[in-house]
Structure 1
Amino acid sequence: MGIAKQKIYWFCQLFGWTLLIMVEYLAYLAELGFDADTLYLAIVNIFLGITLTHLYRLMIRRWYWVRLPFIQLAPRVLFSVFVLALIMTLVNLPIDRVIVPQYLVNEPWLFIGYILTWGKTMLAWVLSYTVYHYVERTRNAEIEKILLKTSIRETEAKVLRSQLNPHFVFNALNSIRALVYENPTKAQQSITQLSNLLRNSLLADRRKTVELREEMKTVEDYLALEKVRYEERLTSRIELDGRTLFWQVPPMMLQTLVENAIKHGVSTAIGGGFIEVKSMIVADKLHIIIRNTGVLGDKEASGGFGLANTAQRLELLYGPEAAFQIFQEESTPDQSAETGGSVVCATITIPAQSEGLFRRTSEAMSNAS
């Protein structure tokens, strides 16, 4: 229990018991006048009430009663109330017989009356304390569930990051091997690009997000390596809005989508195809568009894991405001002639994570200009 809660608890103890006992004492004082013995008894009752209820607090916390089901908790609470009332009765009744014997002579069932009187007081205190701790425990349990769920989601996010296809690495190495004798300079450059890809893949599980400009360097390295393999059968275009360069995106996400586009789109087209990546800001949200030659068939057969990976990562990181869509683009005859056939379009929407993002982007743009 924190310091603030401790202060509140002891204030309620002192104020509550003092108010309760002093109200009864003032009623006695108004009727019979001042009596030192009665005042001493009132003070004793204040400290006795505080002591007994505090012991109950220690007991219920030590034995975790609030974790018990109601059918087991109820008899324990009632028995505790009876014990506390009995102790107060055993203390007060003998003293009252000495101080105010005239009020006790004609009282039938005197002992039971004292038990019931003190029982009501103790029941109110015990119930209030038990209910408070029951509600607090329920709330803490909900918080623990949320923290556990968050931890699980974070673990899932780490697993979903960086799924660099081993087949791509194998093909890239074969392409580089062919370049070693034909074009050593190009081979060295390709090795550097592959090294960058592998490094970013290894670092991806350590970072939740990276700047878009850094992610696009990975995409450019990937496209350069695939260009070695497909040569003239692959063309690419990248158009980035300068305001989007510092937005945070999941690492290796775009690379996965571009890889999926080549594997299930460009590579299956007879005459090859194109990949286009654009970024823009619309309504204070980052929009990334990836277009490529291809026909969108069954999503499970067309890179289903990569697509599910993207959708799930966006949801884990940004919540419902983020979105991922992939669809077959309807094109006119002129567009079909320009793109060389059918086009698949994937769109990503990412909300701004902080106001400072716009300020940082603006400052970077100003410095660049």
Structure 2
Amino acid sequence: MSKTQLYWTLQLLGWTIFIMYDFVFYSAEYGFDTSYFLLSIANIFLAVTLTHLYRLVIRRWNWSSLPMLRLVFRVGFSVLILATIMTFVNLPIDRQLLAQNIVDHPFVFWNYFSSWSKTLLAWVLSYTVYHYVEQTRMTELEKIMLKTSMREAEAKVLRSQLNPHFTFNALNSIRALVMEDPLKAQHSITQLSNILRNSLLADRRKTVDLREELKTVEDYLELEKVRYEERLSYTIKADPQTLYWQVPPMMLQTLVENGIKHGVSRLPKGGYLEVESILEGNFLIIQIRNTGTLGSTDSGGVGLLNTAERLSILYGKDAHFKIFQEEENWVCAEVKIPMISDGLHRFSGETPVARDAN
């Protein structure tokens, strides 16, 4: 049953029970009166109409968002207006139909007015409180949705960032290959297009399979090897159970780029980079190790700050990112991602990914 259907059911049923209850007691004491029965039916529809008008007013001018003092004043004034209308409609008719029964009451008007005021106050308060609570709940929900939308917008910006210097360097490297090794140049163009395509698609997807992200990383490292040649060696190792875990797109590429830019590239003889993924309980651990020292590795750059922020947005406080000096000449960037649902990772049945490039 919808809220509208429930509202009308309670309206009709509630006023019918209340007014017919009074009619039954009157009939038990004075006997059945057709005119009074018709008046009772008319009162049901009048009460439904007046209280529904109150509902329209409170919704139209959004009274539930008013300060409490102003809301109380409007509720009290509304009850007085509704009770006055019901009294002025009923009293003249009752004076004709029930003159012999009400003639002995010296304060007939105030008795009628008091009775209707109490009844209508109960209805008005019930509906106003319900509407106030509902409005408060909707406001809180809108705040949550707005906050979620803002965080999603932030995530889109963060995951779509690709260092333009890499693109320029890759194009220059490919240009040098065109005459020397056309086939390798063609393969490098394919690898660059794959990276660019994934970068463009990154703002449309919250997460991707780890195996897809590792393929992007491999394409990136192969392009960097064109530029650094023998100065860069790398290995990619992945537990087969991690290949279908969901990770933020272009995240690993950012960390690998950081390792090369601030680690390997600054060493005269070049260096080594390793990407490894393992499972620890319900967590995926990804480590990017590179030769170098933390003092020469960007530990507070935009790329690394973006990584921490993206993990927080997607996975909350259970996700972690840190970069540290693992050994004397080794820097490690570690990402820890929780399993956020049973469907986020599947065992692929494939052999572990292990790629070495020297």
For the Cα contact (< 8 Å) 1:264–1:303, is it kept in 2? no
In 2, the alpha carbon distance for the partners of 1:352 and 1:34 equals: 72
* Aligned position for 2:35: 37
Matched, 1:313 2:297: no
Residue 204 of structure 1 deviates from its aligned partner by: 1.5
For the Cα contact (< 8 Å) 1:260–1:303, is it kept in 2? no
Q: Give CA deviations for 1:304-331 in whole Å, capped at 9, x if unaligned.
A: 21111111111212222222122221x3
In 2, the alpha carbon distance for the partners of 1:44 and 1:158 equals: 61
* Aligned position for 1:54: 52
* Aligned position for 2:175: 177
In 2, the alpha carbon distance for the partners of 1:16 and 1:35 equals: 22
Matched, 1:245 2:243: yes
Letter aligned with residue 134 of structure 1: Y
For the Cα contact (< 8 Å) 1:264–1:302, is it kept in 2? no
* Aligned position for 1:117: 115
Residue 298 of structure 1 deviates from its aligned partner by: 8.7
How many residues are aligned here? 352
* Aligned position for 1:77: 75
In 2, the alpha carbon distance for the partners of 1:357 and 1:209 equals: 10
Out of 331, 334, 341, the residue aligned to residue 344 of structure 1 is: 331
For the Cα contact (< 8 Å) 2:151–2:313, is it kept in 1? yes
1:163 is paired with a residue whose SS is coil
Moved more, 242-251 or 26-35: 26-35
2:129 is paired with a residue whose SS is helix
Q: Which has the higher contact order (CA 8 A, sep 6+)?
A: 2
2:160 is paired with a residue whose SS is coil
1:365 is paired with a residue whose SS is coil
Q: What is the identity percentage for the equivalent residue pairs of Structure 1 and Structure 2?
A: 64
Matched, 1:209 2:207: yes
In 2, the alpha carbon distance for the partners of 1:206 and 1:6 equals: 38
For the Cα contact (< 8 Å) 2:15–2:48, is it kept in 1? yes
For the Cα contact (< 8 Å) 2:170–2:223, is it kept in 1? yes
In 2, the alpha carbon distance for the partners of 1:302 and 1:352 equals: 27
Q: Give CA deviations for 1:210-267 in whole Å, capped at 9, x if unaligned.
A: 1111111110111111112222222111111111111221111100000001111111
Which structure 1 segments of 5+ residues have no match? 332-340
Out of 283, 291, 294, the residue aligned to residue 293 of structure 1 is: 291
Q: Normalising to structure 1: TM-score of the pair?
A: 0.88
Letter aligned with residue 355 of structure 1: D
In 2, the alpha carbon distance for the partners of 1:158 and 1:107 equals: 75
* Aligned position for 2:166: 168
Q: Normalising to structure 2: TM-score of the pair?
A: 0.91
Moved more, 187-196 or 78-87: 187-196
Instruction: Tell me the C-alpha RMSD between the 2 structures.
Output: 2.2
For the Cα contact (< 8 Å) 1:290–1:345, is it kept in 2? yes
Describe the shift of the 1:159–1:179 C-alpha distance in structure 2 as closer, same or farther (beyond 3 A). Answer: same
